[in-house]
Amino acid sequence: METDISAELRVDLPSGLVLRRATPADVEGLLDINGQLLGEDSRVEVKFLIEGGVPGMGLEDFLVVVEPSGRVVSSLSLLTQELRVGQTVLKIGNPEFVSTLPEYRGGGLIRRLFAVLEQMQKERGLAISTIMGIPYFYRLFGYEYALEDFRAGFLYPETHREKLAAIPDLEVRRTVESDAPLLAKMYAETAAQADIAMSMAESGWAWAARTRELHANNLEDWVAIENGQPIAYARLHLSGNTLTAFRLTGELAGQQALIKKALDWPGLEKLGIGTVRNSSLHFWVLELEPGRRPSYGNYVRIIDPALAFRQLEPEFESRLAASTLAGLSREVELGFYRFGVALTFEEGKLVKVEARSGNQSPAIGIPPDLLPKFLMGYRSIFEYRRVNPDFIVSKEEDWALLEILFPPLVNMINFFI
């Protein structure tokens, strides 16, 4: 069923269920289902967003499936985020708070919600969508892992405490609301080192200081203090006897002090470290010989391929300008088998982006599941080529062009608060 999202939304489903936008009457149901299924941290996040904690987001961004009685049995939200790719800032979609009560699972409710959500993203001009969460699950809805969530490894108290003994003991404390401006500044400085980064609202830092507490909702923000001022920040996540330190920003000495303090958490079995790949902290952690911890990834779906290429036009032009193909004038048709995108360059400027129909034998043939990875710089062209037999390029010189247009990128992705 096609639904005009700009009009009042109502999709009638079997057994009397109705898919619609959330209303004030659904607030308690939204809090309950997310708290019950996703944890206390999600319940407090939903409350924060519903109450307008992040500008531009609110109750109208939540979809629900309800019983005739009004009980919320499934929910999904659409957040709008700012993503910087190189020097280009995009508005992107971020589906979040995906919940279905156990007795309603397997009935396709999430698929129906995602179909409506995709239309919402198209109407808002959000060409790119990203989500984190359940391994494999979101591939079912056209998402692919395309943004690396880099993990440097595990540290173990019995193995690594001695290695950290020489690290100076700085004061470490939970964040307080007055830290928010400085936390935002430190985050922005660290994010600037990455090719891709997501912006963070200052209001989120203050709210986290008020709300995050490891024993209450499994998350907590810490800062390291020197001469009375925060010099580094980390977010801690507790799961059983495993603690993870991530979003580490600020001075390296402060980040090291935060990790040393976290390694002393009572009953700790292991401490995971999340870093920006190839950062000074990453290399320092490697020197400690950490235990292996596989990196994860965030999913990306390209909602509108042609629009995504148009929005990234400045990046393609700057990559060309800095390359051996500066001043390129030609049409480049990228064939994704089921569809295509033609890029027309004139003297190095991307002057036209055109959607094309599918072609089973394109001159440049790229499996469609690689499109998000290409645009987000997940890996190098060589790596895609090595493991994808259906990534085919007819002319040898076009390999060089693809390497210029789609280089591997380092990202720092953190979600809203």
All residues at 6 or more sequence positions from 322 whose CB lies less than 8 Å from its CB, including other chains: none
pLDDT digits (tens, 9 = 90+) for 316-375: 999 999 999 999 999 999 999 999 999 999 999 999 999 999 999 999 999 999 999 999
For residue 337, with 0-12 CB atoms within 10 Å meaning exposed, 13-18 middle and 19 or more buried, which class applies? middle
SS3 of 248, please?
A: strand
Instruction: Determine contact, residues 120/105, Cβ cutoff 8 Å.
Output: no
**Structure tokens given for 398:** 């076009």
295 vs 60 pLDDT, higher one: 60
DSSP 115-173: HHHHHHHHHTT--EEEE--STTGGGGGT-EEEEEE-EEEEE-HHHHTGGGTTS---EEE
Q: What is the pLDDT of residue 182?
A: 94
> Is residue 2 scored above 60 in pLDDT?
no
Please, which pLDDT band fits residue 293 given cuts at 50, 70 and 90?
confident
Please, which pLDDT band fits residue 113 given cuts at 50, 70 and 90?
very high
> Is residue 157 scored above 90 in pLDDT?
yes
- The identity of residue 357, as a single letter, is S
Q: Give the C-alpha separation, 287 to 294, whole Å.
A: 17
Q: Which CATH class is domain 10-126?
A: alpha beta
In the chain, which segments carry CATH 3.40.630.30?
Answer: 10-126, 151-294
**Structure tokens given for 397:** 């010189």
pLDDT digits (tens, 9 = 90+) for 189-203: 989 989 999 988 788
In the chain, which segments carry CATH 3.30.1050.10?
Answer: 304-408
Percent of the chain with pLDDT over 70: 98
DSSP 33-52: HHHHHH-HHHHHHHHHHHTT
The residue whose two tokens read 């569809």 is 339
Mean pLDDT computed over 13-17: 98
Predicted TM-score (pTM) of this structure: 0.92
CATH 3.40.630.30 fits 151-294, yes or no: yes
Mean pLDDT computed over 181-193: 92
Q: What is the pLDDT of residue 8?
A: 80
Least confident of 98-112, 193-207, 243-257: 193-207
How far is residue 365 CA from its own chain's centroid? Answer: 27
Secondary structure letter of residue 316 according to DSSP: H
Q: Give the C-alpha separation, 221 to 212, whole Å.
A: 7
Q: Give the C-alpha separation, 324 to 239, whole Å.
A: 49
**Structure tokens given for 332:** 């480049």
Q: What is the pLDDT of residue 362?
A: 96
Mean pLDDT, the chain, as a whole number? Answer: 94
> Is residue 313 scored above 70 in pLDDT?
yes
124 vs 5 pLDDT, higher one: 124
Q: Give the C-alpha separation, 345 to 334, whole Å.
A: 13
CATH, range 304-408: 3.30.1050.10
> Is residue 146 scored above 70 in pLDDT?
yes
Q: Give the C-alpha separation, 129 to 143, whole Å.
A: 8
The residue whose two tokens read 């190839």 is 278
Q: Where are the alpha helices (DSSP H) in 359-395?
A: 371-376, 381-387
> Is residue 7 scored above 70 in pLDDT?
no
Q: What is the pLDDT of residue 415?
A: 67
